[in-house]
Amino acid sequence: MQNHDFIHVKTNNVLAGLAVSFEDAERLLFTKDIGTLAQCANTITRAFNANKVDVEMLLNAKSGTCPENCSFCSQSSFYDSRINKYPLLPTEIILQRAQIVLPTEVILQRAQIAKEGGASSFCQVCAYRAPPEKEFLQICKTIVEIKNKVDIDINVSLGFMTHARAGKLKSLGVKRYNHNLEAAESYFSKICKTHDFADRMKTAQIVKDEGLELCCGGIIGMGETPQQRLELGFSIASLRPEEVPVNILVAQQGTPLAQIPQIAGDDAIRTIAVWRFLMPKTILKIAGGRELHLKDNGRLALRAGANGLITGGYLTIGGNSPDKDLQMIHEIGLHT
């Protein structure tokens, strides 16, 4: 069967609710007909998610000094990455941050800004293996404050979870919990030695068990093979996450991956498109690295399987302003 026909057959299968095998996904990933692949991934996206783009803003609410050694991460205490490090932000204290669109803010203000900027959700991210109890309780208090004062979906990312803590977050009204698998199981030991792939799967499963929505993605461009990108996609799909952030490595000075060759933009688009075949209904969100690696800031990705983006910058690096992203979304005929 010709590539063009093969891609259309697999698209119709996905639209009919059938799963894609690893072998089929491999053929899709390596097709020379990237135009048809992107177009068909877009057809699947529109069929299950219409024209809506999920826009999210992040706040790095506790930066750096993480005891884990993820080799891509500038927040690990193992590496001298010269980022802006700070302890958990008190709810009402002004924070000076150089790398975010707005230099001064408090968590509440940031949530309000997210809402006014067109974001439908706001995610507090903290660099922990898991928060100490006192800080977990402080985070809970902040969640209640935001819930009472800002009409926005609240997501959090706090590292490893227990059933009790995930249940508590659910009871406070947290919508979604982020815990990425980061890399394929077969590649994981190359990027982290302080915990393993099974640890990450376990927290993702706890999140599901406690009734929170799961946001679970990974990072591509860390030296893995294309097949390992598929392997990661299949592992993520097995968890049935509501949201899947696709990060493209931005090599950070001081980390072991600082000199890793960049992934080609086309390979990132192929990965996004094929992950859409594996997860037809999820929010597939272009995240860190899109401004650097996708020269159009994500326009093509949003027409090739993605239906969400992070706006307003990331955890340790800046990004597009919400205005710029919203304009781009509207220019390509989509909406928030």
Output the DSSP codes for 12-38. Answer: HHHHTTPPPPHHHHHHHHT-S-HHHHH
Do 312 and 319 touch, CB atoms closer than 8 A? yes
* Smaller CB separation from ligand SF4, 68 or 105: 68
Beta bridge partners of 245: 285
Q: Considering the complex, what minimum distance in angstroms separates the CB of residue 133 from ligand SF4?
A: 18
Q: Considering the complex, what minimum distance in angstroms separates the CB of residue 192 from ligand SF4?
A: 7
Nearest to 272 by CA among 227, 220, 210: 220
* Smaller CB separation from ligand SF4, 55 or 127: 127
* Smaller CB separation from ligand SF4, 193 or 240: 193
Query: CB burial class (10 A; 0-12, 13-18, 19+) of residue 295?
Result: exposed
* Smaller CB separation from ligand SF4, 69 or 120: 69
Specify the DSSP class assigned to residue 303.
G
Do 125 and 155 touch, CB atoms closer than 8 A? no
Nearest to 184 by CA among 22, 12, 17, 32: 22
Query: Phi and psi of 280, rounded to 5°?
Result: -65, -30
Q: Considering the complex, what minimum distance in angstroms separates the CB of residue 157 from ligand SF4?
A: 8
Q: Which of 127, 174, 268, 310 binds ligand SF4 (CB under 6 A)?
A: 127
* Smaller CB separation from ligand SF4, 75 or 320: 75
Nearest to 310 by CA among 81, 318, 213: 318
Query: CB burial class (10 A; 0-12, 13-18, 19+) of residue 312?
Result: buried
Q: Considering the complex, what minimum distance in angstroms separates the CB of residue 122 from ligand SF4?
A: 19
Restricted to residues 148-167, the positions that interact with ligand SF4 (CB under 6 A) are 159
* Smaller CB separation from ligand SF4, 159 or 167: 159
CA 285, 290, 294, 297 dihedral sign is positive
Q: Considering the complex, what minimum distance in angstroms separates the CB of residue 177 from ligand SF4?
A: 14
Q: Considering the complex, what minimum distance in angstroms separates the CB of residue 68 from ligand SF4?
A: 4
287 binds ligand SF4 (CB under 6 A): no
70 binds ligand SF4 (CB under 6 A): yes
Q: Considering the complex, what minimum distance in angstroms separates the CB of residue 74 from ligand SF4?
A: 8
CA-to-CA distance for 294 and 248, rounded, in angstroms?
Answer: 9
Restricted to residues 49-68, the positions that interact with ligand SF4 (CB under 6 A) are 66, 68
* Smaller CB separation from ligand SF4, 34 or 239: 239
76 binds ligand SF4 (CB under 6 A): yes
204 binds ligand SF4 (CB under 6 A): no
Nearest to 109 by CA among 128, 95, 99, 98: 95
- Segment (H or E) for 57: strand 54-62
* Secondary structure (3-state) at 46: helix
245 binds ligand SF4 (CB under 6 A): no
CA-to-CA distance for 314 and 319, rounded, in angstroms?
Answer: 7
Q: Considering the complex, what minimum distance in angstroms separates the CB of residue 114 from ligand SF4?
A: 21
* Smaller CB separation from ligand SF4, 25 or 123: 123
Which positions touch ligand SF4 (CB under 6 A)? 66, 68, 70, 73, 75-76, 127, 159
